[in-house]
């Protein structure tokens, strides 16, 4: 049993770069004519994804999250290994056991496997909580920088760049914000957060 294959990606999902779809939208994509136009005074743009991906503090957080995810996977693997060995031993002798003996041993193995699965799910929630806290901390560091660049560029409104389908992107604040954030902070330190309580209502809940 391995941690969900998407867990590693989930742990650093907001730190891995600008989505390709956003880049496609900004450039017009393919052979279509680019959507440009005049500069709109006071209208500015920002890519939070690019900030998290390219700022030094975001890269440091991404590395740390990846380390924690690998450690969690290693712990799950170590917990599962003796159970796998016992499953193989049971299969080798199953034909010589009575029906009651097989049922008893299968139930015992199943309970142990359920324990590993529960631990796996707990670690997944821990990584999600850790990711959220790290991003919150980076956002807190970035906000004063964003405000300063916003004011210096005389912006009147700020849009998420990745939601813009086209237009003149002259007033993109992203590069300036990354430079300002790099000058302010370059690394971040954190450990695995406690797991939030599991959702027991039957719904999916909010990760």
Tokens found for residue 119: 């631990």
Q: How far apart are CA 113 and CA 76, in angstroms?
A: 11
DSSP codes joined into one string, 7-49: HHHHHTGGGS---HHHHHHHH--TTSPP------TTEEEE-HH
What pTM, to 2 d.p., does this model score?
0.74
Residues 6+ apart with CB under 8 A from 177: 46, 51, 142, 145, 146, 149
Asked which of 6-20, 37-51, 92-106 is least confident by mean pLDDT, the reply is 6-20
* Residue-level pLDDT at 33: 64
So what's the pLDDT on residue 3?
47
Cβ burial of 73 (10 Å; 0-12, 13-18, 19+) is middle
78-108 pLDDT tens trace:
999 999 999 999 999 999 999 999 999 999 9
Domain boundaries, given as residue ranges, for the chain: 14-184
Of 27 and 132, the one with more pLDDT: 132
User: What φ, ψ does residue 45 adopt, rounded to 5°?
Assistant: -135, 155
Coil/strand/helix, residue 85: helix
Q: What is the pLDDT of residues 25-35, one digit of tens each?
A: 444 445 566 67
* Residue length of the chain: 207
Q: Do 35 and 169 form a contact (C-beta atoms < 8 A)?
A: no
Q: Using only the alpha carbons of the chain, give its radius of gyration.
A: 24
Pull the structure tokens for residue 169: 């992107």
pLDDT band at 197, cuts 50/70/90? confident
Band the pLDDT of 205: cuts 50, 70, 90: very low
pLDDT at position 185 over 60? yes
Q: Which of 93, 94, 185, 92 is nearest to 134 (CA)?
A: 185
21 pLDDT more than 70: no
CB 103 within 8 A of CB 154: no
| Percent of residues, the chain, with pLDDT higher than 90 | 71
Q: In 94-173, where does DSSP find H-type helix?
A: 99-152
């Amino acid at each position: 049993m391995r941690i969900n294959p998407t867990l590693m990606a989930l742990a650093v999902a907001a730190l891995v770069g600008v989505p390709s779809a956003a880049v496609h939208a900004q450039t017009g994509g393919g052979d279509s004519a680019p959507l440009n136009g005049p500069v709109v005074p006071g209208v500015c743009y920002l890519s939070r994804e690019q900030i998290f991906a390219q700022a030094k503090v975001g890269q440091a957080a991404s590395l740390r999250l990846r380390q924690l995810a690998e450690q969690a996977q290693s712990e799950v693997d170590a917990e599962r290994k003796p159970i796998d060995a016992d499953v193989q031993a049971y299969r080798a002798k199953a034909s010589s056991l009575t029906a009651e003996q097989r049922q008893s041993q299968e139930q015992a193995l199943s309970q142990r496997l359920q324990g590993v699965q529960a631990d796996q799910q707990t670690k997944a929630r821990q990584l999600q909580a850790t990711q959220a806290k790290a991003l919150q901390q980076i956002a807190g560091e970035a906000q004063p920088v964003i405000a300063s660049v916003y004011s210096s560029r005389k912006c009147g409104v700020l849009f998420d760049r990745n939601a813009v389908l086209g237009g003149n992107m002259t007033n993109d604040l992203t590069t300036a914000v990354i430079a300002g954030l790099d000058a302010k902070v370059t690394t971040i330190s954190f450990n695995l957060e406690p797991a939030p309580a599991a959702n027991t209502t039957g719904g999916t809940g909010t990760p």
